[in-house]
A = this chain, B = another copy of it.
Amino acid sequence: MPEFRYNGKLYYNPVEFAMDRIGGTWKMPILWRLKDRVMRYSEIKRDIPHISDKMLTTQLRELEADGFIHRKVYPVVPPKTEYSITDHGKKAIPIIDTIRSYGLALMEEAGIGH
């Protein structure tokens, strides 16, 4: 595995690079929810328990900067912003699905969910 640099950061392998884009506590949950519908900020927030405004905003911004989602702001008051997944973002869905299924399998083995 040759190491490489991207945006100033050093990566050791492709897995690390992938996880830096879609990993962390919130990015996959967000992408998963946007996979087949457009959602407003407040909808996403209501749908993901425990997420704070700060986390939701920063993660949405990073996903947007990396081209996974699109952000459309309506100039109204109170504000209205819609988030949708991009073609680039859709490519991550099968990977999330794979990880999710694996997680469910691990949970079953561990006796979680009865």
Which positions in A face B, CB cutoff 8 Å?
1, 3-4, 6, 12-19, 21, 23, 25, 28-29, 32, 49-50, 88, 91-92, 94-96, 98-107, 109-110, 112-113
B1 lies within 8 A of A29 (CB): yes
Task: Given A99-B99, A112-B6, check contact A29 B15 (CB 8 Å).
Answer: yes
> Closest CB of chain B to A60's CB: distance in Å?
17
- The A interface is mostly helix, strand or loop, or mixed, namely helix
B99 lies within 8 A of A15 (CB): yes
Task: Given A110-B6, A112-B4, check contact A103 B16 (CB 8 Å).
Answer: yes
With both beta carbons as reference points, the residue of chain B lying nearest to A21 in the complex is identified as: B106
